[in-house]
Every structure is written in C-alpha cells, then in structure tokens.
Amino acid sequence: MGTFDEKELIYDWNEEPERIAKVEFDDETLRDGIQSPSVKDPTIDEKIRILHLMDELGIHGADIGLPGAGPRAVEHVSALAREIAEAKLRVRPNCAARTLKVDIDPIIDISQQVGIPIEASVFIGSSPIRQYAEGWSLDTLLRHTEEAVRYVVDHGLSVMYVTEDTTRATPETVRMLYTTAIECGARRICVCDTVGHAVPEGVRRLIAFVKDIVATTGEDVQIDWHGHRDRGLSVPNTIAAVAAGAHRVHGTALGIGERVGNTPMDLLLVNFKLLGWIDQDLTRLAEYCKLVSKACHVPLANNYPVVGDDAFRTATGVHAAAVIKAQRKGDAWLADRVYSGVPAGMFGMKQKIEIGPMSGESNVVFWLEEHRIEPEEPLVKRIFEAAKQAQFVLTDEEILNIVQLGKEGPHEG
C-alpha cells in the first residue's frame, strides 16, 4: 500500500443504504436452479462438490431439493443431507414442498433418517392471476397454509412459508396468508418475485408492508427475499430488499433457473462484499461458478462479471497503460482499482494485460517483462506491428512464435 489515502483516490457516489445488522444467503442452485429447461441435472458427486463450495463461500443455507418429486430426488436429497451431517458443514439444509403432506412427508423422513434438522420450505401461489388460473379461492389457500404449516411444526421441523408471486398479490391476501402461517408456527416467511415483475421501489414498499405484518403478530419471524431476473433487475431488487429489512436472500450460481433465471448468487456475494455488508473470503467464487457451469452444461460467457474470462483482461492501450503505471508504483491495491470497479484480488483473480489491435507499445513491453523476456526495441516493434494487423488479441503462442523468429533471424531461401 502506498502513502496515499484510499478515500482520496476514489470518490464514492454510491450511498450505502441502511440495512439490518446481518444478512444471510440461501442457495437455490440445486433445486430452483436446475429447474431450468436448458440445464443438465448434475450427478450426486457434482452436487456434493457444489455443496462444499457453498460452505467454503460462507453461504448460510442451501435448498437441497424437492424430495416429493420422486425417487431420484429422494436419493439426491438424502445424500446431500448426509454429507452435511458427516462432513460437519456449516451450511444449513432446506427442502421445497407444496403445501401438501405428500411433499412434506419425504422431508420429515429424510431428516429423521439422517439425524439433522431440515427446514421445510412450503410454497403456495398467492396472486389473483394464479388463483384465477388454478381455480383457487382465498379460503382454499388459507386452509392449505394452516394444514401444511401445522403438520411440519407438529413433526418438529422449522417452516419457511413461501408465497409464490408475492409481488403481484393483493395486500389483503398477503396479510392474511402470512398472518395465518405465523399463527400456525412458521418462523420464516419468504417474499417471492416469481416472474421477475418487481422494480426496486416496489420491493422496498412490499418488504416494509411485510415487516408491518410480522410486527403486528408480535412473533420473532425472519423475512426472506427470492427474486427472478426476467426484467434484469434481480440484483438491485435484492439489494433493495435487504436495505428494507429482509434477513435472508436467495440466489443461484450464474443465475440459472426457469425462463431467464434466478438472482445470481455470485453477483450478490460480490456486491454485498463491495458494499461492506459481508466479510467472508470469496477467493473461491470462480471455482464455484465454473463447477456449476460444467456440471449443469451452462456456458460461462467471456464477459460475465468477475468470473468470466474477460472480466479482468484488457488489451486497450489507454486502459493497460494506467494499470501498468499503477503496478510499477509497486502498489497492488492501486493496480487492482485504477481501471476496475471490482478489485480482482478480492475474488481470487488478477488483472491481465494482453496485446491486440487496440494496444499500445506499453502492452508489449509489459507482456515481455511478465514473461521474463528482454523488451528490446526491435522485438517490441515486431510484436506491436503484428498486433496492429490482427483481428483478435494475440495468443501467448503467437507472441512467443514472434519472439522465437526474432532469435533465429531470417532464413536464407
């Protein structure tokens, strides 16, 4: 670190919103995430490795499946719960279920067999459009809510009561459903933007409304936020939810999920770390994302934030020159921020200077020095001229070939 004051070099216009003292994360990759019609359901070994990385990243909870879906789901949920117990992982398991005993019973059975508590996330649709399409009345919803929540509580498990499509439900319905669930023993309720309808201001109003419902009951109840990214607003919506008082937020690796997906867990971790809301070590974030990409057959775009191949690469002369000058001041903090709003080192990555048609000679000199090759002027010129004629960034192999040709000199024909 240099002698400068960090705050003097970066003026931050981001006003940190007020928030609760602590925020937690619930990872839905292995349940809601793999409901995407385009992904491959990972093998159990792959799911166990993903679960361990969730634990390494300090993620607090994981939805390990919906065992009511059938024998394969029961097998995988049982194996994941057993791994949590035997490996003594800190991540706490939960399982999804409709408000039906046929979905809840497998959760109870697995919890008893493995010997660890599993939170039952019982869900039911709440919006008028969903009620109309399904032919449900509010009385039907309330009856299912009461029966399901009481059934779980009577069997000794905790309940997260989930209202699907909360962001399009009426205030009266939201109040009656949550009040009923809380009175029946639910100690966690989940507000859902199931179809990605919400905008941040709407999220703030809704969370404030739900906080009032909880306060009226007088019970100690935690509020979760579960968002989707149909309008591309899942991350700002989640930030708004936490600022408004949500205690735990949901996401999936790379945002996989139905339609265009869920809130990306990786980007939540990045943004909350940069906001100063969390302090866990995120240097294995890229490993988590790349494992999910491989296991689920989800391509990881080069320009994906933070963990994409291009996130910290530059071949542009002006950009690279600034990074190089910062590095030559001998200050890693400075070099990691002078042309990057996200410090690479914080997430186990590093800045990379490359050579392409938009590069300056400083790119070439830096690349050669990084590879312990003397940046003699004739060599620098040859590489620079080759880059200007190229359509893409030069590969390391292409640059080394130019270096080798320079050493060998011209051949006689």
Segment 285-327, tens digit of pLDDT: 999 999 999 999 999 999 999 999 999 988 888 888 888 888 8
- Residue of 347, 269, 341 lying closest to 307 (CA atoms): 347
Distances (CA, A) of 103 to 28, 95, 135: 18, 10, 21
In this structure, is the dihedral angle defined by the CA atoms of residues 211, 278, 77 and 44, taken in order, positive or negative? positive
Query: What percentage of residues in the chain have a pLDDT greater than 90?
Result: 81
Residue 410 has pLDDT above 60, yes or no: no
Residues 364, 380 contacting (CB under 8 angstroms): yes
Specify burial of residue 284 (Cβ count, 10 A radius: 0-12, 13-18, 19+).
Answer: middle
- Residue of 31, 34, 36, 40 lying closest to 62 (CA atoms): 31
Averaged pLDDT, 259-269 = 98
Q: Per-residue pLDDT tens for 321-338? A: 888 888 888 788 888 898
Burial 335-372 (b: 16+ CB within 10 A, else e): bbbbbbebbbebbebebbbbbbebbbbbbbbbbbeeee
Averaged pLDDT, 178-198 = 98
Neighbours of 203 (CB within 10 A): 26
Q: Per-residue pLDDT tens for 63-72? A: 999 999 999 9
What does the alpha-carbon distance between residue 130 and residue 127 come to, in Å, rounded to a whole number? 5
What does the alpha-carbon distance between residue 107 and residue 118 come to, in Å, rounded to a whole number? 7
Least confident piece of the model among 98-112, 113-127, 189-203, 344-358: 344-358
Q: CA 187 from chain center: how many Å?
A: 25
pLDDT at 151: 98
pLDDT at 413: 43
Residue 339 has pLDDT above 90, yes or no: no
Neighbours of 277 (CB within 10 A): 18
Cα dihedral 378, 379, 385, 389 in deg (nearest 10):
150
The residue type found at 109 is D
Length of the chain: 413
pLDDT at 17: 60
The residue type found at 379 is L
Give the tokens for residue 381: 């010129």
Give the tokens for residue 315: 């071949």
Q: What domains can you pick out in the chain, each with its CATH number?
A: 24-296 (3.20.20.70), 313-408 (no CATH)
E strand or H helix that includes residue 314: strand 313-314
What does the alpha-carbon distance between residue 204 and residue 244 come to, in Å, rounded to a whole number? 5
